Each structure stands twice: as structure tokens, then as C-alpha cells.
Amino acid sequence: MSKKSLALLFFLGLAILAVGLVLPNWMSYLLTIAMGKGLVVLGLVLLMRAGLVSFGQGLYYCVGAYVAGMLTQFAEVTDVLLILLASIGVSVAIAAIIGLLLCRYREIFFAMFSMAFSMILYGLLVRNQVLGSTDGFNVANPSLLGWAPGPEAASDLVLAVAVFLVFSLGILAWRYLKSLSGYAGEAVRENEIRLEYLGGSVFKIVYVKYIIAAGLAAIGGTVTALVSGHVDPEMAYWTTSGEFVFIALMGGTAHVAAPIIAAVLFEALRTYAFAVAPYTWQMILGFALLAIILFMPSGLWSLVERFQTKKARKTT
């Protein structure tokens, strides 16, 4: 990525942060939630480019959120940097163990096994009275390097952290996908046997991607917990993981920006659908996904690719 592109992304991040700070509180809240979920979907996209669809990213999303909640409520640790490091560390440790089993499976078996582990966590949390059972518990306001803002400023702090994470991790993910390890994922999807024949370790490639996806999901869960001020077992329920798959299909897997844009559009669409049809809003989401699959099977990012193709034809 050129210096010019990095500078453009830097100013774009500042512009999004400035817009988020002047938006009404409910809109900046939705924007922060969308960016948190976008990071989870970014990890899911890394797996999908290797031909794997996980219905269990809610596991690490929930782990990241609960680590944030437990640190603020039970250990009185509110520094957002320490919370993020702890959330990533716990999630990566869990993924390193579960991945030893999961990364040996493919297709529907991988999807179902990943969902099973997520539902196990859901069952454990529902029965845990100390962690609030089905109601969950509240998360204290975060601080940064000794600065403890009030409730409204705390939301702005999480928004700023989310913008920084989206752009920095998005750049890292883009560079990863352009590296040999990134391209190896597509080789896994196309022909595992040929990749093994050429000397590549399919298990190692998938294992690394699974751990990266777990870390991104934990960051997304931490952002969601800190901005919403509450965590509950629904974050590990299979419908939450299905929501991440929905957003991934909506955006497509062609670019790292696609899951972030799709997450923002998904939150806007869900809010609008709930406002106009509070009892049948899921039906509106279903029709939206059906339309995308029928007319844009590669996701919304295919619109950008079509525009770029037309522009290239005009210049030649």
C-alpha cells in the first residue's frame, strides 16, 4: 500500500471520527456497534477466503465482551488498552486449543462444530448466577491511560478506539491477504491436495487464520461491551454468529473494507426495519439477503468492482 493511500485512509478515519462525534448519540452508538461487528466479520472473511464458513464466531465475540465486563466489574480494571489485550489473549488461548480439533474439518462439519462450541459457552453462561445468568451484567465506563471520562465522553472514547482499530487492523488484514500466507488461504479453498503436494501445510494455514479470526472477534466483542455497557449470553447464541455470516454474505469477501461497510449498512437496515415493522423486521432482512444473493452473489463489493471495470475500459 502506497504512502498516498495510507494518507488518504488516515484522513478518512479522521473524517469518520469527526462525523461520529457530531452525530446524535444513538447514531454514533450504532456506528460504533457496526464497527465492532465489522471487525468480527473481517475475521470471518479470512476464513471464508479459505473455503470455511464458521457459525461459531459468537464464541470469541462473547469471550471478548465478558472479559471486558469481568475486568471492569470484578477487577476494577477500566483501561481500554489493558482490556483489549486481555480479551485478545484469552480468546487466542481458547482458539489455540479448540483450533487443534476444528481445523481438521471442512465444509458443514467445520460450521457445525464451531457452532457447537459457541452453544456450549452459551449454556455455561446461562447457568452461571455469578455472571448474571440470562440477564448478564453491566460493564463500567472505560478509561484511557489514567483519564476516566464521564458516560457521554466514554462513548466518544470507545468510538475513537473503534475507528483506530478498524483502520489499523484493516490495513494489516489487507497486507496479510496480499502476502504468501494470505494467498495460501485461497489455495486451500481451490485445491488442498495440490497445496500439500507443493510442500504447504494446510492445517497450519487454516489454524493461523482461525486464531486471527478469534482475535478479531474478541476485539469486536470488547468494543460492543464497552459502548453498550452490558453483556449477556445472547452474544454467544447461534443467531449472533448467523448475523455475522449474514453481514459477510452481504458485503462479499473481495476486499477488507467490504465487511465494515456491510456491517454499517446492516445496522442501518435493521434499525429501519425494526422502526417500520417491529414484529416482522426479520422478514425485511430476509428479503434483503435474498435480493443480494440473487442479483449480487459476490456481495455489495461487486458494485465497486463493476465501477472499477467500467472506468478501466473508458481509459483504455
- The answer to whether 251 and 105 have CB atoms below 8 angstroms apart is no
Is 305 among the domain residues?
Answer: no
Q: How many domains does the chain have?
A: 1
- The answer to whether 67 and 86 have CB atoms below 8 angstroms apart is yes
pLDDT given at position 40: 92
Is 48 among the domain residues?
Answer: yes
Domain containing residue 113: 3-236
pLDDT one digit per residue (tens) for the chain, 316 residues:
666 677 777 777 777 777 777 778 888 888 899 999 999 999 999 898 888 888 888 999 999 999 999 999 888 888 999 999 999 999 999 999 999 988 888 888 888 888 999 999 999 999 888 888 888 888 888 888 887 777 778 888 888 899 899 888 988 988 888 888 888 878 888 888 888 888 778 888 899 999 999 999 999 999 999 988 889 999 999 889 988 998 998 888 888 888 888 888 888 888 888 888 878 888 888 888 888 888 887 778 777 777 777 777 777 6
One DSSP character per residue, 262-277 reads HHHHHHHHHHHHHHH-
pLDDT given at position 50: 85
Is 116 among the domain residues?
Answer: yes
pLDDT given at position 292: 82
pLDDT given at position 95: 93
Instruction: Read off the amino acid at residue 161.
Output: V
Q: What letters, b where the CB count within 10 A reaches 16 and e where it falls short, cover 205-230?
A: bbbbbbbbbbbbbbbbbbbbbbbbbe
275 CB neighbour count, 10 Å cutoff: 9
